[in-house]
Chain A
Amino acid sequence: MSPLLHARGVAKTFGRTRALRDASLSIDAGEVVAISGPSGSGKSTLLHCLAEIVVPDEGEIHYGGTRVDELDEDARTRLRREAFGIVFQFGGLVPELTAEENVAVSLMFRGTDRAEASAAAREWLERVGVGDCAALRPGELSGGQAQRVAVARALATEPAVIFADEPTGALDSVTGEEVLGLLLGAARERGATVVLVTHDNRIAAYADREVVVRDGVVSDVPAVAR
């Protein structure tokens, strides 16, 4: 079976900083993979390349057997909206919108009408334990609540792949594990693939396996971890 996501020889430079030098990895459908490594190792850049948020300078990214790094901006945006869900460290919620609207918008981008999107959003917020926060704006939420809303937003479109960049980084360890448990529970239930960037070993232990990025290079995963 060919992998769902595949990166080969990916390199990316920002200004004078070489964020990624040579990253190759394969991720199968339904896998939960942790990308770990010290600060500044290039792990977030790798996630952004895989999620089609940034375009690599060198190398190739394949999704579902199709090369996607060469697609134009519109096609990559469509891919992100239709197949990917993304959770950032600090929620990345739109501050002017309520929690419900933040979740509903991701569905409306995909063509769901407003009423249906709002109903689905409320259901997802309920499911991640913040149903009573639906009418609040991000500024009125605690860190843990905001991150639950971000998880609901990422899950609502039922994406094939969920990318999470330090999703628990701003939370205390008990809240972080609760939020991660919700995210992974829902993903595993649906057989979704999860790519999780973390510098926290205990968070990495929630994944099926670990990919370590060191100085912009992805080391091959030792057999014992597969």
Chain B
Amino acid sequence: MSTPQILLALLAERPKHGYELKREHDERLPGAKPLPYGQVYSTLQRLERDGLVAVAEVVQENGPERTVYELTPKGEERMRAWLAETEPPLPYVGGALFSRVVMALVAGGDARAGLDRQRAAHLERMRELTRAKTAPGASVAEVLAADYALLHLDADLRWMELAVRRLADLTKEISR
């Protein structure tokens, strides 16, 4: 994953301590897995060793000491380079859903019933996400994360409908 780059990007705003970075990571990327504290600190240590961040100050506000990190020019450069890269489109179609649906069509039997159950499960998740994004007080970050997930689930559902419509052709191809 790109945790080091994400921490660099979060530090681009202003210097922050580890706890702030963890909290902001989870707030800005609400659909992602929460970042464990341990990983924040180990990543910061590596970034410091590589000269990408530096300790700005150590503060103590009615609690434990907190080390505040800032981005170095080299870190800024590394972060900008990461943002300038494109994310490679996935080279292979994979995933359990793809294999299961194709195999269900190949194996024959009642593929339709399985697809209906899959559709119901997908739609239930989509309802949860829709409730979350339309809840009063949902943050823009939460809406963005929900939209991302909703569009991907929608793509799965539309592909499944298409797969069923191609079923006859697929059956012909297999029996050749």
| A interface residue numbers (CB < 8 A to B) | 38, 181, 201-202, 204-208, 210, 212, 219, 221-222, 224-225
A201→B158 contact, CB < 8 A: yes
Min CB distance B101 to A, Å, is 16
B121→A181 contact, CB < 8 A: no
Q: Is B46 an interface residue (CB 8 A)?
A: no
B116→A222 contact, CB < 8 A: yes
A205→B123 contact, CB < 8 A: yes
How many chain B residues touch the partner (CB < 8 A)?
20
Which one, B26-34, B36-44, B63-71, B127-135, is touching chain A?
Answer: B127-135
Q: Take A202-B126, A205-B127, A205-B130 as given contacts and tell me if A225 and B120 are in contact as well, using a CB distance cutoff of 8 Å.
A: yes
CB nearest neighbor in B for A37: B161
Starting from the known contacts A201-B126, A222-B120, 8 additional A-B residue pairs (CB-CB under 8 Å) come to A38-B161, A201-B154, A202-B151, A204-B123, A205-B129, A205-B150, A206-B130, A224-B117
A224→B150 contact, CB < 8 A: no
Specify which of A181, A202, A219, A225 is in contact with B124 (CB 8 Å cutoff): A225
Count of inter-chain pairs, beta carbons less than 8 A: 43
Bound Cα distance from A207 to B134, whole angstroms: 12
Q: Is B35 an interface residue (CB 8 A)?
A: no
Q: Take A201-B158, A219-B116 as given contacts and tell me if A225 and B123 are in contact as well, using a CB distance cutoff of 8 Å.
A: yes
B163: which A residues are within 8 A, CB to CB? none
A201: which B residues are within 8 A, CB to CB? 122-123, 126, 153-154, 157-158
A221: which B residues are within 8 A, CB to CB? 120
CB nearest neighbor in A for B119: A212
Q: Can you show 24 pairs from A to B with CB atoms below 8 A apart?
A: A38-B161, A201-B122, A201-B123, A201-B153, A202-B130, A202-B150, A204-B123, A204-B126, A205-B126, A205-B150, A206-B127, A206-B130, A208-B127, A210-B120, A212-B116, A212-B119, A221-B120, A222-B116, A222-B117, A224-B117, A224-B120, A224-B124, A225-B123, A225-B124
6 closest pairs, A vs B, by CB?
A205-B126, A222-B120, A225-B120, A205-B130, A224-B120, A201-B154
Residue of A181, A212, A224 with most chain B CB atoms under a 10 A cut-off? A224
A181→B127 contact, CB < 8 A: no
B117: which A residues are within 8 A, CB to CB? 222, 224
